[in-house]
């Protein structure tokens, strides 16, 4: 609405200037062609008309300057309004992204809690443990329980990392310390094929496994005699 009003004011000012110019030309032609005005006294009238035309031109000029000034102010206000709207939209987008991330983490925590419950049940009951895929015929029942527990420990490390409870450096240091355990190292090796096939490449869990693998290899370098 303000832009339309500015255009109307500009059109009115332009029409006023054109009308003033046309009127000045017509009056000048009239004064020149009228015989009664061709006298020394008519020179005073011409000068008076010229002065009046000059004053009229100044008034028109002031009006146009005022109109342009108002348009510039309105344009500035509109730009500030658009900037405020853009900031609000970006803020709402960031808020929606944050809520989405929170919802995803809550859902993942619920899934992990269920996974923990399933593994715990398998640790407590050998019959339920038989339902899980075997790590090989040479794995005893005692070793199987230990592997299930090692799985819980590594899952806990993953969740602590995903909820930003631990940083990447802290997580890697924690995994390096865990790999001092012979059982956890053995579980890490035995579960490698399943981990490689069952984890989507490029995802958050894949990134966690890559960092954990770096900690595992670093432990092997630091303690070459430990298998």
Rounded Cα distance, 86 and 59, in Å: 41
Query: What DSSP element (H or E) covers 59?
Result: helix 40-124
177 vs 54, residue with greater confidence: 177
Give the mean pLDDT of 184-196.
Answer: 89
- Which pLDDT value is given to residue 60? 63
User: How many residues belong to the chain?
Assistant: 227
217 band by pLDDT with thresholds 50, 70 and 90: very high
- Which pLDDT value is given to residue 97? 80
Q: What angle do CA 177, 179, 185 make, to 5 degrees?
A: 170
Give the mean pLDDT of 193-221.
Answer: 86
- Write out pLDDT tens, residues 64-103: 677 777 777 878 788 888 888 888 887 787 877 877 777 7
- Write out pLDDT tens, residues 145-166: 999 999 999 999 998 888 888 8
Burial class (CB in 10 A: 0-12, 13-18, 19+), 122: buried
Rounded Cα distance, 213 and 61, in Å: 79
Q: Judge whether residue 181 has pLDDT over 90.
A: yes
6 band by pLDDT with thresholds 50, 70 and 90: low
DSSP state of 36: G
- Which pLDDT value is given to residue 152? 93
- Which pLDDT value is given to residue 98? 76
The separation between CA 16 and the C-alpha centre of its own chain, rounded to angstroms, equals 50
- Write out pLDDT tens, residues 105-137: 777 777 778 888 888 898 888 888 888 888 777
- Write out pLDDT tens, residues 14-49: 666 666 666 665 655 555 555 555 555 555 555 555
Rounded Cα distance, 6 and 72, in Å: 10
């Amino acid at each position: 609405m303000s832009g339309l009003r500015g255009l109307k004011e500009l059109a009115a000012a332009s029409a006023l200037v054109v009308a003033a110019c046309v009127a000045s030309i017509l009056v000048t032609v009239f004064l020149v062609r009228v015989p009664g005005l061709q006298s020394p006294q008519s020179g005073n009238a011409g000068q008076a008309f010229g002065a009046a035309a000059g004053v009229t031109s100044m008034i028109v000029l002031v009006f146009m300057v005022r109109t342009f000034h108002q348009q510039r102010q309105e344009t500035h206000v509109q730009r500030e309004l658009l900037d405020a709207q853009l900031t609000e939209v970006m803020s709402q987008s960031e808020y929606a992204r944050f809520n989405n991330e929170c919802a995803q983490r809550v859902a993942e925590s619920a899934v992990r809690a269920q996974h923990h419950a399933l593994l715990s049940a398998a640790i407590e009951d050998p019959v339920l443990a038989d339902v899980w895929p075997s790590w090989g015929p040479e794995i005893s029942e005692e070793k199987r329980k230990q592997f299930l527990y090692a799985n819980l420990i590594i899952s806990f490390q993953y969740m602590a990392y995903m909820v930003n409870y631990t940083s990447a450096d802290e997580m890697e240091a924690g995994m390096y310390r865990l790999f001092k355990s012979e059982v956890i190292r053995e579980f890490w090796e035995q579960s490698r094929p399943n981990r490689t096939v069952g984890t989507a490449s490029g995802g958050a869990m894949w990134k966690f496994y890559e960092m954990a693998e770096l900690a595992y290899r670093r432990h092997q370098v630091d303690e070459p005699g430990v298998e």
